[in-house]
Amino acid sequence: MSDPTWIAVDDYIGAHLLGPDAALDAALAANAAGGLPAIDVSAAQGKMLHLFARIAGAKRILEVGTLGGYSTIWLARALPEGGQLVTLELEPHHAEVARGNIARAGLADRVEVRVGPAIATLDAMIAAGEGPFDLIFIDADKPGNVAYLGAAIALGRPGTAIIVDNVVREGGVLDAASDDPRIQGTRALFEAVAAEPRLSATAVQTVGAKKWDGFLLAVLGAPA
């Protein structure tokens, strides 16, 4: 489902509030040339993530799901001097493209791309005591959402912001009988968040160049 007006409004937002950005345009071009799927956040959504990170005063950011590094660049630009972003990617080819995009954006010194199954990487990070992170963005395979949420809690601290993308799925989240693992993974995420007393959360629907979807936003509190 899409509406030409949604895209036109995104273009209006971009023209008035974002402006041209050579590094981000180059990243999308490199992604396309590398055969990566065009499933990055929109420019307006990327700027929203950037502002969330700045509002949170994030010095350490964790991203689950790198793809070609488009959202990574938005988030890393919010970091102060000495800040660090760790981003996790399953596919080695995607990670290679992302590293090139991040380097061209001048952010290689503050971004580390780790390759492999995210839950295995997260488990290793928890075991090594790598937290806490100030902001955690989850945008990976949807059946893994609940596991990623648990890891985010383990790697966070009171006040950590947790953001999850693609939680509306053009209304598919309402379909309890769906056999789509992405929808079932998203519904399980909502149930897990609702049952977690350490999280204060909401979700917002979005429309635009990325069609009809939404973000779940949560803040981690003290242990229950």
Residue 222 banded pLDDT, cuts 50, 70, 90: confident
Strands lying side by side in the sheet with 111-115: 111-115, 84-89, 60-64, 135-138, 161-165, 211-220, 199-208
The residues near 222 (Cβ < 8 Å, ≥ 6 apart) are 158, 198
Compute the distance between CA of residue 195 and CA of residue 65 in angstroms, rounded to an integer.
24
Domain that holds residue 131: 4-220
Give 61's strand partners. Answer: 85, 135
Tokens of 51: 């502002």
The residues near 106 (Cβ < 8 Å, ≥ 6 apart) are 23
pLDDT greater than 90 at residue 224: no
Residue 212 banded pLDDT, cuts 50, 70, 90: very high
Burial class (CB in 10 A: 0-12, 13-18, 19+), 11: middle
143, 181 contact by CB (below 8 A):
yes
The shares of helix, strand and coil residues in the chain, as percent rounded to the nearest 5, are: 45, 20, 35
Q: What percent of the chain has pLDDT over 90?
A: 96
pLDDT of residue 131: 85
pLDDT, one tens digit per residue, over 34-89 is 999 999 999 999 999 999 999 999 999 999 999 999 999 999 999 999 999 999 99
Residue keyed to tokens 């399953």: 90
Any idea what the CATH number is for the domain that residue 185 is in?
3.40.50.150
Domain count within the chain: 1
Q: Look at the pTM and tell me if it is higher than 0.95.
A: yes
